[in-house]
Structure 1
Amino acid sequence: MWTKGSDILKVGDKYDLVADGKKQILVINNSTFDDEGEYSAEVDAKKTTAKLIVTGTRLKFLTPLKDQTVKEGNTAHFEIELSHENLPVTWYRNETVLHPSRTVLISTDEKKHVLEIREVTLDDTCEIKAEVTELSTKGCLIVIGKSQIQ
């Protein structure tokens, strides 16, 4: 029987349990930082424990997205900064992937990633999301109409 802490591990998408002669093998599929901890195997009242440390990129947003209020016809500027360099970021407008175009500019400079939406219209009011691996940050784009400008 394999356990992580007090949880009994079962075969499934996450874990494979392999018996190879006298060896009992635990396979952890698609490991993440959440998998760190102490794992134990118990057979015939004998128990052994090992600690798993997952290495890799502990990615985080140093600067998350901020809401932007922009006057109609101007440029909205969204910027994030990551803890690691040269990682691909996907930008979304209301869950639809954004691609560079005449009015959408996407740039990267090491840890800094920038999205510019030029010549915004009232229809551009939306939620903006930046996603990298399994992390994301969100901000709102609010466009103020010309009639609302004082």
Structure 2
Amino acid sequence: MNCAIISMSFPSVRPVTLMQPLTDLTICEGDIAQLEVRFSQENVEGTWRKNGQAISATDRIHIVIDKQVHKLLVENVSRDDAATYSFVVPAQDISTSGKLNIQTIDILSPLTDITAVEGTKAVMEAKISAADVTSVKWYHNDKLVMPSERIQMLAKGSKQRLVFHRTFASDEGTYKLCVGKADSSCKLTIEKIHITKHMEDQVCTETQNITFKVEVSHPGIAAVWTFKKQPLKASPKHKIEAKGKNYSLSVINTMKDEEGEYAFAAGEQTSSAKLTVSGGAINRPLQDVTVADSQTAELECEVANPTAEGKWLKDGQPVNFSDNVKHMNNGAVRRLVITITRPNDIGEYTYQVANSKTTANLRVEGRC
């Protein structure tokens, strides 16, 4: 009797690596707890457990699988949810666990009503029973407040602050701080401002300085200046001043590419004006000069801005100054003086400032 031996092979289980294990988590009572693990493969079969007991999904507890990530979400947590949670993968002999701690928060110092002038800084502050809590939410007329460059939420120890670096009239209303199941409310009142004197359009030539001026009903406003909707900061190029109710922006040594719309904002009040750069930086050009051999030659022009800096060129190259060749500035007048003219001084001279230049020829009698 012949017996046939049949061998069967079973596919081996592909090994799985735990890439992100559970860690301990502390949250405030009433918040949402999110526990999360990540594996090297997608759709790994495992079980969530609380103190060793399997967890099932409910209206409050959600089990989510997103490719390599497994999440356990517990809404509106209470002290009863404090426990050791684990995720177990029996087929791979993998288990990871972490503790969920629940904090009960109390308001120690509530928010208080405040009043601020539109465009100035305002700070709301409350003190809670726990330090450095980051799950705090702020609401304005029941709408969640989102942080921005103007509004910041800060936690410093047990103090929670909502900071308005520049208040708007539309910021007025009721504010509520919510942390866990605790909350505190206050009212913010904004004293509105108005612009009493608006900016005026400006026209200049290149390298001139111009100043935009605005007058506001209140002093001490945190004003913002912009050029083509981009914020401007004080710099050698832009001089920003505030004196009482008067605010000004000076544009130094203007160039053609600085032409356009400039705007001023104080709170939600705005004013704008246009800068037109209509001409070059030179008001009076150089003139050709002819002198006798060994005589003094002077080349002279006038610039638009007396403080503008320019350069002298001879045949396209920088002039070599010496005791015999000097340059002088007298207000807006720019002068090149050659005390004793020699044959090698003959040529084309240029004075250049910003994007403007003027050119003239120096000739010596009897020489080409």
Fold equivalence (TM over 0.5): yes
2:227 alignment partner in structure 1:
93
Could you report, residue by residue, the CA deviation over 1:78-98 in whole angstroms, capped at 9, with x for unpaired residues? Answer: 000000011111000000000
Rounded Cα–Cα distance in structure 2 between residues aligned with 1:108 and 1:31: 25
1:73 alignment partner in structure 2:
207
In the alignment, structure 1 segments of 5+ residues that lack a partner are: 1-12, 17-28, 33-53
1:8 alignment partner in structure 2:
none
Task: Please state how far the C-alpha of 1:56 moved relative to its aligned partner.
Answer: 3.8
Rounded Cα–Cα distance in structure 2 between residues aligned with 1:105 and 1:87: 17
Bigger-Rg structure (1/2) = 2
1:31 alignment partner in structure 2:
172
Rounded Cα–Cα distance in structure 1 between residues aligned with 2:262 and 2:171: 29
Could you report, residue by residue, the CA deviation over 1:83-121 in whole angstroms, capped at 9, with x for unpaired residues? Answer: 001111100000000011111100110100010001001
Task: Please state how far the C-alpha of 1:125 moved relative to its aligned partner.
Answer: 0.3
CA RMSD of the aligned region, Å? 2.6
Aligned equivalent of 1:114, options 248, 263, 270: 248
**1:29-68 alignment to 2 at 5 Å?**
30-31=171-172, 56-68=190-202
1:144 alignment partner in structure 2:
278
Task: Please state how far the C-alpha of 1:64 moved relative to its aligned partner.
Answer: 0.7
Task: Please state how far the C-alpha of 1:71 moved relative to its aligned partner.
Answer: 1.4
Count matched residues: 105
2:216 alignment partner in structure 1:
82
- The structure with higher relative contact order (CA 8 Å, sep 6+) is 1
In the alignment, structure 2 segments of 5+ residues that lack a partner are: 1-138, 143-169, 174-187, 285-368
Aligned CA distance change for structure 1 residues 148 and 97 (closer, same or farther; 3 Å): same
Task: Please state how far the C-alpha of 1:126 moved relative to its aligned partner.
Answer: 1.1
Task: Please state how far the C-alpha of 1:146 moved relative to its aligned partner.
Answer: 1.5
Task: Please state how far the C-alpha of 1:148 moved relative to its aligned partner.
Answer: 9.6
**Could you tell me the percent identity over the aligned residues?**
20
